[in-house]
Amino acid sequence: MKPPPLEILYEDNHLLVVNKPAGLPTMGVSPDKPSLLTVAKDYVKHRYQKPGNVYLGILSRLDAPVTGVVLLARTSKAARRLTEQFRERSVEKTYWALVEGALQPHEGTCEN
């Protein structure tokens, strides 16, 4: 199964921010199946002609069925600093959902 192309939203020496496509797990799948992490590592390896292993740290995750912005650290130093910001809750995350039709009730919890 070929993964969808990676949509890069922002990139610098420390960060890679991507739009994760629906259906692609963020990480944690068997090596023969694509994940956002393996696709992103492949992207960095080819873009910068890296000869060895590519380091990327996942800083935020989304479930496989959904799409959205995922933040990856390109260096271990960036990963440590950003992990600390998430731990201290100085990073704000917002989740939005697009739905069709009128929902009843207007509030609730959706679990997949």
Instruction: Report, as residue numbers or ranges, the catalytic residues.
Output: 63
* Angstrom distance (rounded) from CA 45 to CA 60: 21
* Angstrom distance (rounded) from CA 35 to CA 25: 5
Contacts of 8 (CB under 8 A, 6+ apart): 16, 17, 18, 43
